[in-house]
Structure 1
Amino acid sequence: MIARSSLVLTAPQHASLKRHLFPGDGKEAAAVLLCTRVEAAGIKLLVRDFILVPYAACERESNFLTWSGDYLENALDLADEDDLSIVLLHSHPCGLFEFSLADDRSDAQVMPAVFAGRSKRHIGESCHGSAIMVEHGAIRARLYDVNHRFSPVDLVAVYGDDLHYFWNPDRYPPLAVRRPLAFSDAMRTELSRLSACVVGVSGTGSIVAEQLARIGFGNIMLVDFDRIELKNLNRILNSSIADAEARRLKVEVIAEAILRYRCDVRVTSIPSGIGCADAIKAAAGADVLFSCVDSDGGRQICDLMSSAFLQPLFDVGVTIPVQTTGAGPSILDVVGRVDYVWPGGSTLGDRKVFTPASLAAEYLARADVASHSARVKEGYMPGSLEEAPSVISLNMRAASACVMEFIARAYPFRHDPNVQRARTVFSLAACEEEYSSEDGFSKTANDGLARGFKRPLLGLPILED
């Protein structure tokens, strides 16, 4: 079953909150989370910012906490511009992983004031909440509606070099004392609660979608505008001559194939490019994003989505650079690449997976083919490394590496820390594999983090047309 509500934090946010809430004196402490609301598949609260309530402003005991209302008023002022939701978070040093009677009484007093503080200029419904954290970092939360009725948050997710999931134990029985073991039945059970979005379901994407379905994801979204053709039957899993002759949508063919071997999965077909606002809004509800596109423009959109909706992103690409000499064309290399991006870390743009120049070249190739060809010939634009219509064996290798990268993040099994594997590049010609650390990439300021559906969508005015 897919979580209907979730609260999402980045790993640095979680680490800062944990340090403040557990200073080592065994007493409760407090913070206020400012969250963007994303209503797609259920509701997701994305932590955009937070306020740490100073210890001196609180009356603190091991099982008791009060603090000045000035910090709530400050939070309401900060939340007003973008109509953010407020979540009141405090620690339980005693280890109680449930809300106490004191917590219930406190919420009954405070939540009406939180809702009353919402500006009248904002329309539509809102929600606010409260949460507790125990010392090992697990968080449990609940949301209140305008009538001050609460419902438990199904999932609290923390995304960084590793992926952490904290489930509401009343709805989801604990799978184990610790995180599920990779490749186990417990892993499959947890995956049945999660949703994945695969953007691009052709050469690598059809294979990624196949693997995600078979390892157990409970909800799979497929995004692709294209149709099956005879020329790509050699690299799209589960496609047939009949599909090509009927020019069926790729997403429909892949969805139909998945449903032939899974009766316990929800598959959503989105027959659109990811550059469409409706596709972006639908994909925003996914827990994990897989970018299997063959365009830099598509990668840029996925990159922006990862930040805006706090989605861990796995991007896969393959290239076969070729040179032409007097003896004819020859293969320089056969290369696959997997980049893992966590929201708040270095982006695909930071890593130069796409650049302003490559985006401009791609746009010109679509808008003015003759002019683009001339500029490449003149040396104004790079034309040597193109996404290749590669054979299925290379796609299989790259797609498997992409899915294995997700498993390694959610269910760590590698001997080395995951921070060392932000990028994996393999060369089949040289029989080599290279890794780049997250710390090895320069990171620019990211104003789009937890942006949600704030207009213009993803900060791109073109999406508002």
Structure 2
Amino acid sequence: MRTGPTLVLPGALHARLQAHLLPNDGLEAAAILLCTRVKFAAGQLKLLCKDVVLVPHDKCSRVEDYIEWPGEYLAEALDQAETDDLSLILIHSHPGGFYEFSHADTKSDQCVIPELFANREPVHQCGTVHGSAIMVPGGAIKARVYDERHQVLPIELVAVYGDVISLFWHDVDQPSYRPLAFSADMRQELSKLTAAVVGYSGTGSLTAEQLARIGFGGLVVVDFDQVEDRNLNRIINSTVADAEAGALKVDVFRRAATAFRPDLEVCCIPGSIATRDAVLAVAQADILFCCVDSEEGRSICDAIACALLLPLFDVGVVIPVRTTEFGQSVILDINGRIDYVQPGGSTLFERKVYTSASLTAEELAKRDPAAHAEQVKAGYMPGSIEQAPSVITVNMQAASMCVQEFIARLYPYRLDGNQGYARTKFGLADSEFEYASEADFDHEATPLLATGLKEPLLGLPSLGVPK
């Protein structure tokens, strides 16, 4: 696990930044990152890159190992940062590949960083940090921040979440090096990351089990429910004793994980993801896995991923059935879906995984269970027509594909790259697999992006600070 600051950039913003800072002319270039600060109770700091000011090349004095640029762009960035109390990261390129801060870089910080603090409104001073960063060919970034006393602190991790998940560690001197998938080096890197699993039932229990065993250093598991007899054929590690005692599902995971991963840091939230405590816990994670079967749960995970710039892996299973004229239930297909949502890209809502109508219908179902039962009877088997469907085989395939999608993003091995796999769907009845790319979905910018833990959380009054 880690305790140092993290800087997060959406993949599309990083690509834009890289094209500007490294234009293949061999000369340095500059830009300014505008970042939302997220500080957690344990003292951890995340900087979420919300926007960037690109300093025009022709306004700078640029050579291979030095750059000067006019202060008007710094003033512009300060103006943009003022309203939302954003932090500024001054970034420039080292086109020669020098992956360290030079003496000139440090000297420049000593002049500029105090000016950044001096030009902020007093109301924004408490807890403010500003910083500097370098980018080398290939897009790797090394960064550092300064507090109000101008004390420097290295950014431990710079994370870029795009088609590929790129992690740049401050203490790694070879930025192009990536661990091999499934290796001991992969486990070592994962030990410094935390994943959140929302929903610990059919697919969620299997997803959490795999994440713990491949090496994640921390897991946040969210589920409000208790174990029942009907869960025993689907929730891994659950027992008859758990069902008889009405044990919390998250406690089943805690007990099992402690037995085979005593070093794993486990945070179990026995509540709905639509609660303040759950959102705050999940916000501390690096990767988000959504394994719920509710529309509201998916909508909250969608919002968390957007506001906190978390890569989101969503998994779902459905078995459509029909009733014959003789009253017999017949399976039409066995379907699974895995969506990878990258920060700043199309959301689950835009992909129609859930809709306004489905959210409304779910809310109505809570108030009229009988009507809901009639609706699900027409076509959704797990948990409806049968109270204990034996679908662990389908859930296991879907959960495994979901975790594997994550591995493919962080430790790329696909021959044709990751661009075409924003969504994977499978149908077992006809043995078909379908894939969709990010370009296949419509997307519009949202003001929620990179807002962090701004109150009310996720823009929802129900998640505001309790009175």
Q: Which TM bucket (shorter chain)?
A: over 0.9
Count of aligned pairs between the two proteins: 457
Equivalent residues of 1:317, 1:387 under 8 A apart: no
Q: Does the 8 A contact of 1:3 with 1:193 survive in 2?
A: no
Contact 1:320 1:385 in 2 (8 A): yes
Offset of residue 460 of structure 1: 2.0
State the match for 1:368 in structure 2: 368
Counterpart of 2:106 (choices 104, 115, 118) is 104
Q: Give me the whole-angstrom Cα distance separating, in 1, the residues matched to 2:382 and 2:21.
A: 48
TM-aligned CA distance change 1:238 to 1:334, over 3 Å? same
Paired residues of 2:321 and 2:381 also in contact (CA < 8 A): no
The one-letter amino acid paired with 1:58 is: C
- 1:189 matched to 2:197: no
Maintained 8 Å contact 1:2/1:218 = no
CA contact (8 A) 1:226 1:271 kept: yes
After TM superposition, the structure 1 = structure 2 runs for residues 55-70 of structure 1, keeping only pairs within 5 Å, are 55-70=57-72
Q: How far did residue 3 of structure 1 move?
A: 5.2
Query: Structure 2 counterpart of 1:359, which letter?
Result: L
Q: Partner of 1:258 in structure 2? A: 257
Q: Does 1:168 pair with 2:170?
A: yes
1:119 Cα offset (Å): 1.6
The one-letter amino acid of 2:15's match is A
CA distance in 2, matches of 1:114, 1:448: 26
- What does residue range 282-293 of structure 1 map to in structure 2 within 5 Å? 282-293=281-292
Equivalent residues in 2 for 1:139-288, closer than 5 Å? 139-169=141-171, 178-288=177-287
Q: Which residue of 1 aligns with 2:5?
A: 5
- In the other structure, the counterpart of 2:379 is 384
Give the Cα separation in 2 of the matches to 1:439 and 1:360: 28
Q: Secondary structure at the match of 2:420?
A: helix
CA separation of 1:213/1:461 partners in 2, compared to 1, >3 Å: closer, same or farther? same
**For the structure 1 residues 371 and 210, does the alpha-carbon distance in structure 2 shift closer, same or farther, using more than 3 Å as the test?**
closer
- Post-superposition shift, 1:38? 1.5
Report the AA paired with residue 384 of structure 1: G
Superimposed CA distance per residue, residues 338-385 of structure 1 (whole angstroms, 9 cap, x where no aligned partner): 1111111111111100001100000111123356568x5xxxx99634
Q: State the alpha-carbon separation in 2 of the partners of residues 106 and 235 from structure 1.
A: 59
Aligned equivalents of 1:205, 1:324: Cα separation in 2: 29
Q: Within 2, Cα distance between the matches of 1:386 and 1:307?
A: 31
Q: Aligned AA for 2:127?
A: E
Alpha-carbon offset, residue 165 of structure 1: 0.7
User: Taking every aligned residue pair, what percent have the same amino acid on both sides?
Assistant: 54
> SS of the residue aligned with 1:420?
coil
**1:113-128 alignment, distance < 5 Å:** 113-122=115-124, 124-128=126-130
Distance 1:340 1:69 in 2: 40
Flag the 1:361–1:136 CA change in 2: closer, same or farther, 3 A.
Answer: same
TM normalised by structure 1 equals: 0.94
- In structure 2, what is the equivalent of residue 78 of structure 1? 80
Conserved 8 A contact 1:3-1:194: no
Q: Identify the residue that residue 339 of structure 1 maps to in structure 2.
A: 339
- Within 2, Cα distance between the matches of 1:240 and 1:211? 19
Residue 97 of structure 1: SS of its match in structure 2?
Answer: coil
Q: Deviations over 1:54-105 (max 9, x none)?
A: 1232222211122222211111111111111110101111211011111111
SS of 1:121's partner is helix
State the distance in 2 between where 1:117 and 1:238 align: 57
- Which secondary structure does the structure 2 equivalent of 1:65 belong to? strand
CA contact (8 A) 1:155 1:168 kept: yes
Measured after TM superposition, the shift of residue 442 of structure 1 is: 1.5
Shift in Å at residue 248 of structure 1?
Answer: 1.6
The answer on whether the counterparts of 1:457 and 1:463 sit within 8 Å (CA) in structure 2 is: yes
Q: Aligned partners of 1:23, 1:439: CA distance in 2, in Å?
A: 25
- Letter of the 1:89 counterpart: I
1:242-283 Cα offsets, whole Å, 9 max, x none, are: 122222211121022111111322111111111112211111
Question: What is the identity, as a one-letter code, of the residue corresponding to 2:145?
Answer: L
Q: Tell me the distance in 2 between the aligned counterparts of 1:445 and 1:173.
A: 36
Letter in 2 for 1:76: L
Residues 45/177 of structure 1: CA separation in 2 closer, same or farther (3 Å cut): closer
Distance 2:371 2:408 in 1: 45
**Quick check: 2:140–2:176 contact (8 Å CA) kept in 1?**
no
Q: 1:394 aligns to what SS in structure 2? A: helix
Contact 1:38 1:285 (C-alpha < 8 Å) held by counterparts: no
| Contact 1:33–1:88 (Cα < 8 Å) also in 2 | yes
Letter in 2 for 1:307: C
